Every structure is written in C-alpha cells, then in structure tokens.
Amino acid sequence: MAPSRKFFVGGNWKMNGKKQNLGELIGTLNAAKVPADTEVVCAPPTAYIDFARQKLDPKIAVAAQNCYKVTNGDFTGEISPGMIKDCRATWVVLGHSERRHVFGESNEPIGQKVARALTKVIVDNVKDWSKVILAYKPVWAIGTGKTATPQQAQEVQEKLRGWLKSNVSEAVAQSTPIIYGGSVTGATCKELAGQPDVDGFLVGGASLKPKFMDIINAKQ
C-alpha cells in the first residue's frame, strides 16, 4: 500500500525580517489557498513568534527556530518548549546546521532538546515518532543557490528511511515525513516533490518571498 504521508512545507525565516515586511509576507500567505493535503509551518525569529502567530491565518502553523531543554530557569537568551506553546507555536526546528556550525551545538544536547520539546507522552515514551519530521539538508546546498538534484535528494532520503526501518520500525519508517532543505525554489520544487521519499521542504531564503506559495503548491 502506498504510504500516506502529508506533504510538509516549512518556511524558516532564520534571523530575517521586521514587523513591516514580515507582516506583508503574512498578508500574502493568508490570502493564498493552501492545498488540503499540505501542512505549512513558518518559523519566525524568536522575537516575532507571538506576532506571527497572532497575524497568520490558522491554516499555517508556527514553529520556533530553537529551544532549550528545561522548563524555565536562569538561562539568559534561551526559550523553553513551554514558552513556545504559550505563544501557540506548535513546532520547533532542532539541530539546524547553522546551530551546529555557528553556535557549536552537538548531537547530544540536540537529542535532549527533542525529547523535551515533545509532549509528556513522548518524553515518557521516546519511541513515539508521530510528532517528528526529519529534514535532510546538505550543507553545501544551504543558502548557496545549489539545490540537490532530485536524484541526490531521493537517494539520501531513501537511505534515511531505510535507517529508520532498521533502527526503529517499518511503521515509523513509512509514517515519518522526511523533507529536503537547501536552496529550494519555485523552479526546483516540483521535480523534487515528485520523488517518492521527498515528503516536503524546509525552505530558507525563498520562504521570505511571495513565491513561497509555488513551493507550498509543489505537489499539485
């Protein structure tokens, strides 16, 4: 039976934008039609999570770009999963290569954050993968304008799914969305979206432009 994974498109605004131009972008997104089988999530800078959630239509979810692993405390500059939820953001991007390269994050704390960011049920049972989306993002493709070819993305993402099958379970391998990120544009998205193991995108630069709608509609 063909897997029925929802197509997932994330727009990672990184450290870009101000209320004025993000507000205009939000207006464009709100006015556009999002296909029923596609989940769209925007990840604003931390300072604008609340702003974005208040302005964005409910058809678009909001993500934080990072979080720390504890509930609260003396951790200057950090935000907690509870604060993210309190602002009605429902996702968080963890383990981004920019966090690793610029801020020296390593696998261990990222794993701890993933456990903490998920619901209590999942903290108690880390084998529940139902709230996890994996992104394959070749570092040479991020912000460089060099998109992976559909064949390159498919090859790696198929291997990742195989890894999930061997290390977690067949069911998790079939149900977990694996998305691609790295210089996705309106021009490159359609062919990438046609690959059997490409379940969506995590988009940086192009998510700040009205053309992001073309990427949201890549599967149509």
Residues of the shown chain interacting with ligand 13P in the complex, contacts defined by CB under 6 A: 12, 96, 137, 142-143, 181-184, 202-206
> Any idea which residue has 């291997």 for tokens?
159
Q: Tokens 């999963």 identify what position?
A: 81
Distance CA(14)–CA(73), nearest Å, equals 25
Whole-number minimum distance, CB 159 to ligand 13P, in Å? 20
Residue 12 or 46 having the CB closest to ligand 13P:
12
Q: Which two tokens stand for residue 128?
A: 């529940």
Residue pointed to by tokens 């079939």: 174
Q: In what order do the strands lie in the sheet with 91-92?
A: 91-92, 60-64, 38-43, 7-12, 200-203, 178-181, 134-136
Q: What number of other Cβ atoms are within 10 A of residue 119's Cβ?
A: 13
The pair of structure tokens assigned to 175 is: 């149900």
CB of 104 to ligand 13P, least distance (A): 17
Nearer to ligand 13P, 44 or 204 (CB): 204
Shortest distance (Å) from residue 149 CB to ligand 13P: 15
Report the residue closest to ligand 13P, judged by CB: 204
Residue number, 193 or 202, with CB nearest to ligand 13P: 202
- Judged by beta carbon, residue 2 or residue 15, the one nearer ligand 13P is 15
What minimum distance in Å lies between the beta carbon of 95 and ligand 13P?
Answer: 11
